[in-house]
Every structure is written in C-alpha cells, then in structure tokens.
Amino acid sequence: MSRVLNFSAGPSAIPLAVLERAQAEFTNYHGLGFSIMEVSHRGKVFEELHNNAIAKLKSFYNIGDDYAVLFLQGGATLQFAQIPMNIYTGGVAEYVNTGVWTQKAIKEAKIQNINYKVIASSEDTKFDHIPNFNFSDDADYGYICSNNTIYGTQYATLPSPKCPLVVDSSSDLLSREIDFKAHNIGLFYGGAQKNAGPAGITIVIVKKDLAARVKDSVPTPLRYTTQIEANSLANTPPTFGIYMFDLVLDWIKDQGGLNAINAVNEQKAAALYELIDNSDFYKAFAKPGSRSLMNVSFATPSAELDGAFVKLAEQNGMIGLKGHRILGGLRASIYNAVTQQSVQTLCEFMKEFQRTHG
C-alpha cells in the first residue's frame, strides 16, 4: 500500500526522506553496528548528535550563548506548570487567552497561586482571531501561544514587548524565521510531534538569565537550571526523539532553511484559504489577518456533510481531516512535512466534493 496524504494535527506527518533515513540507519547507525537507541546518552556518539542538533537549532533561530536549548519530556503540557514555577518572581505574569492551550497554561498559573492577569482574550468570539493587546513593560513575563492548533489562528507577527516574551510554539515550531531579539523572547517552546518529529521530546529555548530566576523551593528535576547545567542530561533524555528531531533539522536545511519553508507554507495555506473563500460551500473558521499557515479549520454547511467529507477523503487516501472535537467541522493541518502536491490534491478533492454534494 502506498502512503496516505496525512493532514493530522498531531502527531502528524514527518517528511518521507526523514523516515527513510531513519529506516536505513535503524539497526546500524552510521555503520557503527548499533542503533542510536542502544547506546549511552553520555557516550561520544550520542553526545555528538545531541550537540549538533542544538547547534543546528540555534543557527536556524540565530540565537547565541545567552540562550540554552533543552530537550525535555512531559510535553508542552508540563511547560504550562514549569514556566511560572521557574520564571515568576512576584510581580504580574500576563497571559493572552487564544484558546484551549492558553487556558491550560492559565489554569496552571492559577494553581500555583501567582499573581497573573489575562490581559486579552478572543473567547467571546470562540477564539476566531488573535486579539490586540500590549504587555506591561514591567510584567514578569508575557505569555502567548503563537499558533492555535484547534481554531487555526496564528500570530502573523509576534509581539515585541519590553517584558520577556514566552511563546508556546508547539504547532508552528520551525515553520518560519523568528527574530528572538526583536521580540524579546525569554522562553520559546514546543512539543516536536506537530512540526518537528515524533512525540516524546519537548524543545525548550530559554534565556539563561530568565532561568536563573528560579527559587530554591522548586524541585531539582523541574528547574531549567538543572537541565542547563547538565546539557539536558540530568536524567536520560528521549534519545530516539532527539535523533529524529536532528534528522528533521537536516531536512529543513535541505529545503533551503526556514525562509524557504515559510514561502512554501504560505503558498499551501493560500491555496486552501482561496478555495474556501471563493466558495459558497466551505467556510473558514479563523478571521483573515489571524489565519494559521499550519492548521486550516473550516466546515461545510452541515455536520452531516462534514462527516461525509471525512469518510470520502479517507477512501481517497487522505487522513486526519476531522476537526477537533471542541470546534467540530474540518481541519487540514499542513505542517512543513505536508507537500504542496498533497495540498493540491486536497484542493481538487474539495472542489469535487462541493460539485457532488453542494
């Protein structure tokens, strides 16, 4: 059987070239006679891979030694708790609520009993746009989610506050260039399983001076400083996930880097939104100006037709198009690994579905 066209939201498509390289190296890494999963995380072979992955990521985002790159576990979800635990210093932590993932982060701030404030929200319109706001200059940090996986909204550009910016980039990690200095990014993180590899590894880029805010009362394994000092080896890291992430970084380089990737992403998203906007059958959920290049949430005129769409799409070799249960409808996740050809095929299918069901 040939491979399906995969529009899943996460875990999601991984570039075929990456899977094939992993397959070729699976039992015999670089001719050394073992799999990368079978050797010590403190040994020379893994250490070199690990440090190369960090260097590649730093070069993509053009960041220096004032930032640490950590490969952690516990998903983006653990970060919701770990962030206030580590970088809150007794002032005000400001949050922007753009949906489920920021709500979960806000809930953890509440549990830790810190002084937090939701300074903007798009909840009253079911999170169909990114609201306008300004973080206070003196906030402990300002928290956003750059791409809202469920609703299909995304910051066209990140804010540039005076306070440190914290970004949940789980679903648009490595999709475009980000100027860390211009946006005063203090902490930037995401799980790999949407746009950067398999599940099991969380990439955290944290400014070292921010990590140093941590209090002695925070448990050692939950401190960023612990992992910074140990180069993410305070405990056994998810070595296979790091290996796969490294292969994805190489693949991005082969595509011409983040700007080239972003240009393709823009074309893929434009093709879908154009089709949707020009039809009186499909409707996009997110408002123009806030639309995600990664997740296109849309719907047909009825839940019945949505269901028929998903079913027929599967019969045609396209999976993952069912919308999130909170929002219903349909969603095409078109991450880096989803090719222009795949999006083209989906567009053709959508036109045909409208013709036969509209």
Do β-strands 116-121 and 93-97 pair in parallel, antiparallel, or remain unpaired? parallel
Q: Which is nearer to ligand PLP, 195 or 342 (CB)?
A: 195
- The residue whose Cβ lies closest to ligand PLP is 75
Q: Which is nearer to ligand PLP, 142 or 191 (CB)?
A: 191
Region of 56-64, 75-83, 114-122, 286-294 interacting with ligand PLP (CB under 6 A): 75-83
Is 101 a binder of ligand PLP (CB under 6 A)? yes
Check if the beta carbon of residue 333 is closer than 8 Å to that of residue 8. Answer: yes
Report which residue type is found at 50. Answer: H
Find out whether 239 is annotated in a ligand binding site.
no
- CA-nearest of 19, 10, 5 to 338 is 5
User: For ligand PLP, what does the binding mask look like between residues 132 and 151, x meaning CB under 6 A?
Assistant: -------------x---x--
Is 191 a binder of ligand PLP (CB under 6 A)? yes
Find out whether 168 is annotated in a ligand binding site.
yes
Q: How far apart are CA 261 and CA 253, in angstroms?
A: 9
Is 75 a binder of ligand PLP (CB under 6 A)? yes
CA distances from 92 to 70, 132, 303, 343 (A): 26, 19, 43, 43
Q: Which of helix, strand or coil describes residue 196?
A: coil
Widest distance between CA atoms in the chain: 64
Check if the beta carbon of residue 309 is closer than 8 Å to that of residue 330. Answer: yes
**Shortest CB 80 distance to ligand PLP, Å:** 8
Choosing from 6, 10, 185, 322, the residue that interacts with ligand PLP (CB under 6 A) is 10
Q: How far apart are CA 23 and CA 111, in angstroms?
A: 44
Q: Which is nearer to ligand PLP, 149 or 342 (CB)?
A: 149
Q: Which is nearer to ligand PLP, 8 or 225 (CB)?
A: 8
- Is 101 designated active site? yes
Cα angle 183-187-188, degrees, rounded to a multiple of 5: 80
Q: How far apart are CA 278 and CA 235, in angstroms?
A: 53
Catalytic residue, chosen from 56, 101, 140, 306, is 101
| Per-position DSSP letters for 101-113, written without gaps between them | HHHHHHHHHHHTT
**Shortest CB 171 distance to ligand PLP, Å:** 4
Is 168 a binder of ligand PLP (CB under 6 A)? yes
Report which residue type is found at 45. Answer: V
- Is 311 designated active site? no
Check if the beta carbon of residue 140 is closer than 8 Å to that of residue 93. Answer: yes
Choosing from 36, 63, 76, 318, the residue that interacts with ligand PLP (CB under 6 A) is 76
Region of 17-25, 115-123, 163-171, 246-254 interacting with ligand PLP (CB under 6 A): 163-171
Residue located via tokens 């910051």: 155
- Is 251 designated active site? no
Residues in contact with ligand PLP by CB under 6 A are 10, 75-77, 101, 145, 149, 168, 170-171, 191, 194
| Residues in the annotated binding site for pyridoxal 5'-phosphate | 76-77, 101, 149, 168, 193, 235-236
Catalytic center residues: 101, 168, 194
